[in-house]
Structure 1
Amino acid sequence: MMLSALGVWQLQRAEQKKVYFDQQTQRSKQSPIRVSKVMIESEKSGWPAEIIGEFEREGQFLWDNRTYEGRAGFHVLTPFMIEGSGVRIFVDRGWIPLEGSREQLPRPDIPVGQQKISGQLYAPLKGFTFVDEAPVFGALLRQNLDLDALVTSAPYDLHPYVLRLAPDEVGGFVRDWPGPSRTMIQRHQAYAVQWFGMAAVFVFVVISFVWRQRKDSKQGKIRK
């Protein structure tokens, strides 16, 4: 039955979210990874990390349609050149508000000089973008954080992660990063209960209808 299948699917989604929650919680407790010119191995999203190097203005962009406490704005993503290499990693320095219109976009300053920064590695989900609308590297405004497109178009090597700058680091903006939450697990479980409940009601209605039909049929035969 479709309703029961939807309930099972929601339970499967809840289990997937639980695995993700447990994984991210465990990773956040690990010792920080020292990010170097060597590319980070896969499956490191959610790990704390440290980097030594310098911020670069060229290539910085604003990730559009980011909200904070109901206000529209942007996330500021700035390339960070890793010490002793030509490899960069984009650092999400946090949220800034949209002031006025998009005709005059803000151009946030960057911290100058070599420094050590820390944060959490993040592998963003790829958003949908028409090929003809994909901005070239260096464009100030982007609708999606598409790392594959950035890696392909960048004039240098890029790490396949973004570093979310830690809240206590200087040189950032509003950084209220989302953490692992059990809310989505509970939501899928609640949806599953609803689907199973509707399936039970449907079965009850069908059984009641069939029982009444048979009862009426028997009474009709007796009258004859």
Structure 2
Amino acid sequence: MKKSTIVFTVFAVAIALATFNFTTRSTPTEAKGPGAHFVPKDPKTDNLLTSENTVLLVIDWQEEMLGMVRNMDREVLTNNIQAMIKTADVFDIPVIESTIGVELGANQPTVSNIKEFIPSDVENIDRISLNAWQNQAVVDAVAATGRKKVLITGLWTSGCPTYTALDALQDGYEVYILTDLMGDATTDAHNRAIDRMVQAGAIPFTWEGAGAEILRAYTHPKAMQDEEIEGGFVGIMKEHFYPFAGKY
């Protein structure tokens, strides 16, 4: 075989192999269905909120506190806490309810239009301490869930929720303060308390943001429907988010 023929043959084979490799490497996998490219994450170790790493604290939603809130409209604030509790219920997130001064006769229990949405098997923890984290039953209840991401709601912002958040952070929990689920007698008191918690390491968030982060994808089985709450999280959004958008 002539030298020129050998060179041409080797060159032709090289081109063929390069073409084959380019073709096999560059042909993308065809998507099959709307969720084909969704990348799942471990719900227990996820850095984001999930239904398996989060617990919700509902602190002091009592008439004595709610009636003094002035930084946000009461109807909007009530709507927001109802939405968050429903969201926790849809995603099977543990709810810990705590009040202050009920057994002492100083205050009334959780207001009825909020209490009705808290799962019936949740036993309220009444306290004498403004700081919920100074009540061992609250601390034990959070620890018993085995979850390290704590969503905190409560009244008034500058009091019980702040002290609780600061101590939970000190104990190594990742604290999310739901700023649209807190209220105070003045806007300044609310804002300064939020600033203090954030400076200490708390993460400011909203109920809708938390719910959407837990949902993660429309393929989530709790997105569209639920046996207990009609419409799933999407239904909660339609009932509680869209009608109140822009009102606070």
Could you say which TM-score interval applies, normalised by the shorter chain? under 0.3
- Structure having the higher helix fraction is 2
- Structure having the higher strand fraction is 1
Which one scores higher on RCO, CA 8 angstroms, separation ≥ 6?
1
* TM-score normalised according to structure 2 size: 0.24
* TM-score normalised according to structure 1 size: 0.26
